[in-house]
Amino acid sequence: MKSILVIGAGKIGSTIVDMLNETGDYDVTVADASEAALAAVAKNGIRTIQLDFNDAVALQNALKGHYAVLSAAPYHLTGHVAQAARLADVNYFDLTEDVATTRMVKELSEGAATAFIPQCGLAPGFISIVAHDIASRFDKLDTVRLRVGALPQYPSNALSYNLTWSTDGVINEYIERCEAVVDGRLREVPAMEELEEFSLDGTRYEAFNTSGGLGTLCETLEGKVRNLNYKTIRYPGHCALMRVLLNDLQLRNRREVLKDILENAVPATMQDMVIVFVTVTGERGGRYVQETYARSIYGQKVAGVQRTAIQVTTAAGICAMLDLLVEGKLPKQGFVRQEEIDLDTFLANRFGRVYAGVRLDEAGEPAVKNIRLDAVA
C-alpha cells in the first residue's frame, strides 16, 4: 500500500482524499493549516496533520517517508510543496495552472530521483491529453483549439457565473498572460482578449484567453502547429463585466479586494457542469480535415458525498496520474508532461474513466453527456 500525503483539505483536496481512500490501495494522510478543514476530512482512518505550508522545515519533514505528495494547495503555495518534495525525494503531483510555478517545478525536477508531474487537473491536465491525442493522428497540423468551462447549470446573475472552485485560481487565470502558438511561433498573449462566441447543443457560449490552460502543450507542439490556443468558456456577457472590474475599476491590481467582492457577492453552487471542447484542423491522407472532441460532464457522489463536476474532474485527473505512475505507465524520474500519456490509457484508468461517463458509484444519472457534434457552430 502506497503512502500518500495530500496537501490541502479544501474542496478539491477533500475530494482527492475520498477518491483515494475509497480504493483501499492507498494509505492517505492530509495536511492543511485549517483545523476546521482537517476535522471535516478526518474519517475512515484518514490521518491529518495541521501544517503551516510556509514553514519549509515542517513541510519537508511531513513529506518524508511518503511515496508521493499531491498538492491541492492554492497556486501561490505550490512552489513550497515542490521544493519540499525535491528535498525529501518524494514523487510530486500538483494541479496548478500558474505558468511561473510550473517553470519552477520543471527546474526543480532536473536530476531528481523521483517524478515531478504538475498540472494534473482538468485544464491544464486532461485537456492536453485530449488535444495531443487528436493532434497525433494528423500528418500535418494547422490549428489546435482548446476550450474548457466550469459553468453553473442555471445561471441567474449578471455575470452568469457561480463560484465552483478556487477564487484565487479564477482571478489568476483572468490576469496573467497566456501562452499560445501564433503563426508557428510561441507567444504570450493577454488574458480576457480574443473573445469569440459559439454554440453547443443549441446553447450560446463565449470564450476568451485565460492563463495556464495549455500546460506544456505549447512546448510540445511548437514547430509542429501553426496556431495553438486555449480559452475559457463562459456564458455571453461574462467577459465584458469582468473587464469592467479588472480594467476600469483597476481591481487587477487589488486581487484581495476582488476576491472579497466575488466571494461575498457571487454565490457558490453544487449544480455545475464542465464543458471540454477541442478542435484540431490539418492534413490527413492528403486532405484538409477537422476533428472535434466535445463532452459535458456533471457532478456525482464520491464516497457518499455529492461533489461538483469541477471537483470530480479535477480530483480524478490527479488520482489517475498517480495510479499510472504506480503502474509503471509514466516515467519514474524527472519532469513528466500530461501529454506523455495517451488518451485511451487515461480513460481506461479507474479514475480517468470519469471523463468517459463512468460513475465512481452506480447510483444516479450518467455524469457525462456526449455533445452532438452536428450542433457545434
Residue 29's Cα: distance from chain center in Å?
Answer: 22
Angstrom distance (rounded) from CA 211 to CA 216:
12
Angstrom distance (rounded) from CA 236 to CA 326:
43
Cell of residue 234, nine digits: 463562459
> What one-character DSSP code corresponds to residue 29?
E
Cis peptide before 366 (omega within 30 of 0): no
Domains in the chain with CATH codes: 2-122+309-356 (3.40.50.720), 126-302 (3.30.360.10)
- How many Cβ atoms from other residues are within 10 Å of residue 109's Cβ? 21
Residues 6+ apart with CB under 8 A from 124: 97, 212, 213, 214, 215, 216, 217, 338
Strand order in the sheet with 334-335: 47-50, 26-32, 2-7, 68-71, 91-94, 115-117, 334-335
Cell of residue 308, nine digits: 461538483
Angstrom distance (rounded) from CA 87 to CA 73:
19
Angstrom distance (rounded) from CA 109 to CA 143:
31
Q: What is the pLDDT of residue 358?
A: 78
**Contact assessment for residue 82 and residue 96, using Cβ atoms and an 8 Å cutoff:** no
Q: pLDDT tens per residue, the chain (377 residues)?
A: 999 999 999 999 999 999 999 999 999 999 999 999 999 998 767 999 999 999 999 999 999 999 999 999 988 899 999 999 999 999 999 999 888 899 999 999 999 999 999 999 999 999 999 999 999 999 999 999 999 999 999 999 999 999 988 899 899 999 999 999 999 999 999 999 999 999 988 999 999 999 999 999 999 999 999 999 999 999 999 999 999 999 999 999 999 999 999 999 999 999 999 999 999 999 999 999 999 999 999 999 999 999 999 999 999 999 999 999 999 999 999 999 999 999 999 999 999 999 987 777 653 344 444 443 333 33
Angstrom distance (rounded) from CA 165 to CA 23:
25
**Contact assessment for residue 255 and residue 178, using Cβ atoms and an 8 Å cutoff:** no
Cell of residue 32, nine digits: 492543511
Q: What is the pLDDT of residue 366?
A: 42
Angstrom distance (rounded) from CA 59 to CA 81:
7
**Contact assessment for residue 199 and residue 205, using Cβ atoms and an 8 Å cutoff:** yes
Classify 87 as helix, strand or coil.
helix
